[in-house]
A and B are shown apart, each in its own frame.
Chain A
Amino acid sequence: MSLTSLLLTPFVGALLVLLVPGNYRVIIRLIALLTTAVTAIGAICVFAAFHPGVADFQFEQHTAWIPAAGLSYHVGVDGLNIGLVLMASLVAFAATCVSWDIERQPKLFYILLLLMTGGAIGAFVSLDLFFLYFFNELALVPTFLMMGLWGRGEQKNYATFQITLYLTLGALVALTGLIALYGLSGANTLDIVVLKAWLAEKPLSHQVQALIFPLLLFGFGTLVGLWPFHSWAAPGYAAAPTATAMMHSGVLKKVGLYALIRVTLPLLPDGLAHWTPVIAWLCLGNIIYCGWLAMRQRDLALLLGNSSLAHMGFCFLGLASVSVIGVTGVVLIMVAHGLLAALSFGLLGHLVKVTGTSDMDKLGGLLRPLPFIGAALVAALMAGCGLPGFANFPGEITVMFGVWKTLPGFVVVAAWGGLLIGGVYMLRAIRTVLHGPVKAEFARVEDAGCWRKLPFLVLLGALIYFGVNPGSLVERIKPAVAEVVKAATAKSPATEAAHTPTATAMNTAH
């Protein structure tokens, strides 16, 4: 399966759904399910056929589009995005499965969901930054619509407004950065491969890099929920319909991080070095501050949203190390967290469906009536506080190993946040929602039936597979990471001068 056909499958599915009359609900659902299943199988094939140990792009396809503007359709996968493509398509399949119960306007819902899927995969495989941006926007707009139309809770409108505002502004800032890169590099292209070769010859001056970098950091960072631009995330996910929360927190959030790594490491090494201390401090905002926020939540949805932000902190921490081990860990976490966030929000969706609330004070003792969903939720929450056996653990520990040699003080704080603060709120959630005597009104709520378990089993299976055998990801990831880290740490005279003071500043900081 070529990347182009993988990318087109969801759009073809969306088109087919469009052609079916809206009252043929079962057919619409089946088309969507089949489309995402085909996409997922295709992605698994691509993942399996991907040669580990090779740094170059594989499955590459390249067609000129507007030569005058330097725009081209260029797709390919390497270690940075191969795992993300797999993760995105698995999450899309699971999200389609859990959407079976959408009763209101299912046709529009599935079209938007498939657009999100196609957009996310497109953003991951595009090697031309124009297309990366375009596909990301293509996936974001359905998010807002779905929240507004199918969202839940009293805060729905405000949360939708907030997430739209934040993400649109973030994307705009990132776009400004990309345009500046386009204009100032002089390469007349946004093709990442061409740009990289061009900038290796004629790097941008330190000042320019230091100016463009924050645009990308804060622009893309807002899409990820980088502290202090995080407050859209938790209420947003609480208000979003289940499938949207799964897709956005799992997949779309990773686009920002992915773009940050893909663009800044090879293209703006000096800018990155200049801003590393800021990233390191901000990531503690995510890990510690958002962890505390999660501790305070009485609503499981808000708790999960804040915990997801805390996990993103580890990604920024790994990025700040600019080391092969650290960045490999970041990519591992991105894949793992995508699966985990989707799993958590999917399970939450089931809880809300059967109990009508996500307020933890109203829930309790649910493990008895919901053995499967409850056990899966225990697994998800445990994975969320870094339990080995799930894919998040190898990611987080790899990040800590990678960062230890440059920023040990930050690792200590991050480990406290991950092991302790994470443990506190996750175990509190298990204690209040699942343990204890079951409340009378929930004694007969319905557990997931036979095939309703499928999406959760797929996600859990992937989490455990990569948790037990992280080597299958690491071997694919590390050559590409080694390549971008080499580009990011190649010493130009400007870097030397700028790096020394920051390094000393960091050392005195702890």
Chain B
Amino acid sequence: MEHANTTVTAAAPAFSSRPEDLAWFILLLPLIAAAGIAFFVRKSNVLSAVFSIGAVLAAFFLSVGLFITFGIGGEATVTTPFSWIHVGDLNVNLGVTVDRLSVLMLLVVTGVSALVQIYSIGYMHGDRSFSRFFSSLSLFTFSMLGIVLADNFVMMFVFWELVGLSSYLLIGFWYEKPSAGDAAKKAFLTNRIGDFGFLIGILMVWAATGSVSFAGIAHKLGADPAALGSMASIAGLLVFCGAMGKSAQFPLHVWLPDAMEGPTPVSALIHAATMVAAGVYMLCRTFFLYQVPAAWPGPLSFLGSISALDIIAVIGGFTALLAALIAIQQNDIKRILAYSTLSQLGYMVMAVGCGGPDAAMYHLTTHAGFKALLFLGAGSVIHACHHEQDIWKMGGLWSKLPVTFRTFAIGTAALAGLPILTSGFYSKDAILDAAITGGHPVLFGLGVLVAAMTTFYMLRLVIVAFFGAPRTEAAGHAHESPNSMIWPLIVLAVPSVAVAWLPLGDFLSAHFNPHFHPHEGGGIFGPFNHAPLAATFGTGALLFGAAAAFHLYWNAPKDPLPGQLGLIGRAMKNRFYFDEIYDGVLVPLHDMLARLADWFDRWIVSGLIIRGVHGSTELVGRALRLVQTGNLQTYTFMFAAGVAVVVMIALKLK
């Protein structure tokens, strides 16, 4: 159990001198920056950027300190000094968890956030809302760090929603563009569907265990794995709903590609590296919920021993496949990356479902680095080609954008999982291995297939955009981007390679399994020793995908695939019509119900009742006029009669 050796310090004095209290500063620094920009330095672009970047850099260095203290050797701690709501059985504290999982995630979030913010100085230069952009980015970083550090479900839900808000603000950053406003709205509402399930799941877990804190629930479930009763699997799946929203899993995946309406740095930070990873992180954080035996209520008992994890694995695998299929037929450079992100998130969710949260977190970490790199590289390309995003209008960029090209190529190699050299190979291998050891041969096969497709669509992008002859004027005159945009690319290219040689997988495995022993014969050839099947198939998929891409796209004037695929190709291009289905079914359904309620209110409640009351009041008024005789005796008689009636009723009731 994850929390077996967690020490819980409740009601400790706030900000004592313990190192884990640094986590509070990490959390609050970006919030202070966001508020400072909004209230004090809104008018100054320079100061806004300084506040925001200064805060996130400070948070990053503090995170490095925490990582050294706790990641390597230190004991996990939970600090809960503030009571938020305490009434009856409901006890919510504001607390932070500092353990291997959270310190690693802190590094990812603050590191990528810092680089993206530095990159934004160049990318957003000259935008009239420059300071609003940095304020929103800081708010986002704060919310995301809240998710990472939360030690209980309610606090996680709070920051979950705040991430939704800041993502809404950033996708809709150029709100005057109708498509940006629509995309922001769609992202927020789709996430809300997931949050709905998440909230119900939290209530269910609280009712069964009496606690909302992760340590408390884990402790309770450790003592009594059947504590959740017949709703165990349902509760797990409901909590997973939250992850489905944030990590854009099928069927709630539709918001992520539209979210590319936001500025490209936002896509890199939120929709590649951090926010979408929140779902996977949450599954890892609450993995104890999924380790209990499967149990279903009566009507669902036919599911038998199928556990929530199995269902999660299938949803993850399906998302990975679906998104990879769609990515193959997209032409917009950012959309290809968006669907690739969807696909990789499906991969991670599948890993969690196969019982490998360590593999999922590993891939999350490496993916955050190289996907942010790819998005920022795409931003550099778009910037250079005067906001052209269609890869078929690019070409020959490799010589014109040398740094962008090289770093983009490194990112592509990492995403495709080039053996030995790149981080992506190791984390992808860990996931394929988890599928085998978890006893899911079909998902393993699916994983290999998706790996081949990933290589295929990424090489398609690289070949079409960077090689061959320029297809347009703009591509012909492209210039390399300014230094503030180039340097983050170079810095991000380092972990795509270097993480490969760090024992990150073992580091994470030891977190989830206290009895974990590193494999014999580790090192850079490790995967070929201890998971030969996964490593071999992974490499084979890479070669196959690469060969297919070169065969089809090297010097191709236009996409040869649509002609060959026919109807399926059209469906892939049109994202399998999910948006159309939702727009055509779900939205009208609610609108119809609303219309019905409105009609009812207008004609029945307001119409009949009000006018009825109006009418009858007039009638009563006329009747009463008959009684108003002006005769004192009549009044006395009626008064007495009234009193008599009241007294009679009173006596009868007693």
A97-105, A322-330, A337-345: which one contacts chain B?
A: A322-330
Picked from A207, A368, A420, A470, the residue with its CB within 8 Å of the CB of B84 is A470
Answer yes or no: B597 CB below 8 A from chain A CBs. Answer: yes
Residues of B593-617 whose CB lies within 8 A of A:
593-598, 601, 605-606, 609-610, 613-614, 617
- B158 contacts across to A, CB distance below 8 A: 388-389, 393
In the bound complex, do residue B203 and residue A427 qualify as a contact, i.e. CB atoms below 8 Å apart? no
Nearest-CB distance from A326 to chain B (Å)? 9
Closest to B196 in A: A419
Nearest-CB distance from B166 to chain A (Å)? 11
Closest to A228 in B: B605
In the bound complex, do residue A419 and residue B192 qualify as a contact, i.e. CB atoms below 8 Å apart? yes
Answer yes or no: A187 CB below 8 A from chain B CBs. Answer: no
- A207 contacts across to B, CB distance below 8 A: 653
In the bound complex, do residue A428 and residue B185 qualify as a contact, i.e. CB atoms below 8 Å apart? yes
Answer yes or no: A437 CB below 8 A from chain B CBs. Answer: yes
Taken together as a complex, chains A and B put the C-alpha atoms of A208 and B649 apart, in Å, by 10
Answer yes or no: A505 CB below 8 A from chain B CBs. Answer: no
- B598 contacts across to A, CB distance below 8 A: 292-293, 296
- State whether A435 and B593 are in contact (beta carbons under 8 Å apart), knowing that A292-B598, A415-B196, A419-B196 are contacts in the complex: no
- State whether A424 and B590 are in contact (beta carbons under 8 Å apart), knowing that A208-B653, A404-B207 are contacts in the complex: yes
B86-94, B395-403, B407-415, B523-531: which one contacts chain A?
A: B86-94
Residues of B183-219 whose CB lies within 8 A of A:
184-185, 188-189, 192-193, 195-196, 199-200, 203-204, 206-207
Answer yes or no: B392 CB below 8 A from chain A CBs. Answer: no
Answer yes or no: B175 CB below 8 A from chain A CBs. Answer: yes
Answer yes or no: A243 CB below 8 A from chain B CBs. Answer: no
Nearest-CB distance from B326 to chain A (Å)? 26
Taken together as a complex, chains A and B put the C-alpha atoms of A387 and B166 apart, in Å, by 11
Residues of B133-175 whose CB lies within 8 A of A:
154, 157-159, 161-162, 165, 172, 175
In the bound complex, do residue A365 and residue B176 qualify as a contact, i.e. CB atoms below 8 Å apart? yes
Picked from B90, B595, B646, the residue with its CB within 8 Å of the CB of A401 is B90
- A393 contacts across to B, CB distance below 8 A: 158, 161
In the bound complex, do residue B200 and residue A328 qualify as a contact, i.e. CB atoms below 8 Å apart? no
Interface size on B, residues (CB 8 A): 56
Answer yes or no: B181 CB below 8 A from chain A CBs. Answer: yes
- B601 contacts across to A, CB distance below 8 A: 231, 289, 293
In the bound complex, do residue A437 and residue B606 qualify as a contact, i.e. CB atoms below 8 Å apart? no
In the bound complex, do residue A183 and residue B646 qualify as a contact, i.e. CB atoms below 8 Å apart? yes
Answer yes or no: B650 CB below 8 A from chain A CBs. Answer: yes
Taken together as a complex, chains A and B put the C-alpha atoms of A429 and B203 apart, in Å, by 30
Residues of A213-253 whose CB lies within 8 A of B:
228, 230-231
Closest to B128 in A: A368
Closest to A475 in B: B86
In the bound complex, do residue B591 and residue A295 qualify as a contact, i.e. CB atoms below 8 Å apart? yes
Taken together as a complex, chains A and B put the C-alpha atoms of A102 and B614 apart, in Å, by 32
Answer yes or no: B73 CB below 8 A from chain A CBs. Answer: no
- B21 contacts across to A, CB distance below 8 A: none
Nearest-CB distance from B141 to chain A (Å)? 16
In the bound complex, do residue B89 and residue A325 qualify as a contact, i.e. CB atoms below 8 Å apart? yes
In the bound complex, do residue A231 and residue B196 qualify as a contact, i.e. CB atoms below 8 Å apart? no
Taken together as a complex, chains A and B put the C-alpha atoms of A475 and B86 apart, in Å, by 8
Would you give the 0/1 interface string for B100-117, flagging 1 where the beta carbon is closer than 8 Å to chain A?
A: 000000000000000000
- A421 contacts across to B, CB distance below 8 A: 590
In the bound complex, do residue A165 and residue B613 qualify as a contact, i.e. CB atoms below 8 Å apart? yes
Nearest-CB distance from A408 to chain B (Å)? 8
Picked from A325, A405, A424, A428, the residue with its CB within 8 Å of the CB of B87 is A325
In the bound complex, do residue B154 and residue A420 qualify as a contact, i.e. CB atoms below 8 Å apart? no
Residues of A382-414 whose CB lies within 8 A of B:
382, 386-389, 393-394, 397-398, 400-402, 404-405, 408, 411-412
- B648 contacts across to A, CB distance below 8 A: none
In the bound complex, do residue A478 and residue B87 qualify as a contact, i.e. CB atoms below 8 Å apart? yes
Taken together as a complex, chains A and B put the C-alpha atoms of A382 and B166 apart, in Å, by 12
Taken together as a complex, chains A and B put the C-alpha atoms of A507 and B200 apart, in Å, by 18
Answer yes or no: A58 CB below 8 A from chain B CBs. Answer: no
Closest to A468 in B: B84
Taken together as a complex, chains A and B put the C-alpha atoms of A208 and B653 apart, in Å, by 6
- State whether A436 and B84 are in contact (beta carbons under 8 Å apart), knowing that A295-B590, A388-B157 are contacts in the complex: no
Taken together as a complex, chains A and B put the C-alpha atoms of A388 and B492 apart, in Å, by 34
Answer yes or no: A283 CB below 8 A from chain B CBs. Answer: no
- State whether A398 and B203 are in contact (beta carbons under 8 Å apart), knowing that A292-B594, A435-B176 are contacts in the complex: no
Interface CB pairs A-B, < 8 A, 18: A293-B594, A323-B88, A325-B90, A367-B175, A393-B161, A398-B85, A415-B199, A424-B189, A427-B185, A427-B188, A435-B172, A435-B175, A435-B184, A436-B181, A438-B176, A471-B83, A474-B85, A474-B87
Known: A208-B654, A471-B84. 11 other contacts (CB 8 A): A169-B613, A231-B609, A295-B591, A324-B88, A394-B84, A400-B199, A402-B88, A412-B200, A419-B196, A436-B181, A469-B84
* Closest 3 A/B residue pairs (Cβ): A435-B181, A292-B597, A295-B594
Task: Give the A-binding residues of B (Cβ under 8 A).
Answer: 83-90, 154, 157-159, 161-162, 165, 172, 175-176, 178, 180-182, 184-185, 188-189, 192-193, 195-196, 199-200, 203-204, 206-207, 590-591, 593-598, 601, 605-606, 609-610, 613-614, 617, 646, 650, 653-654
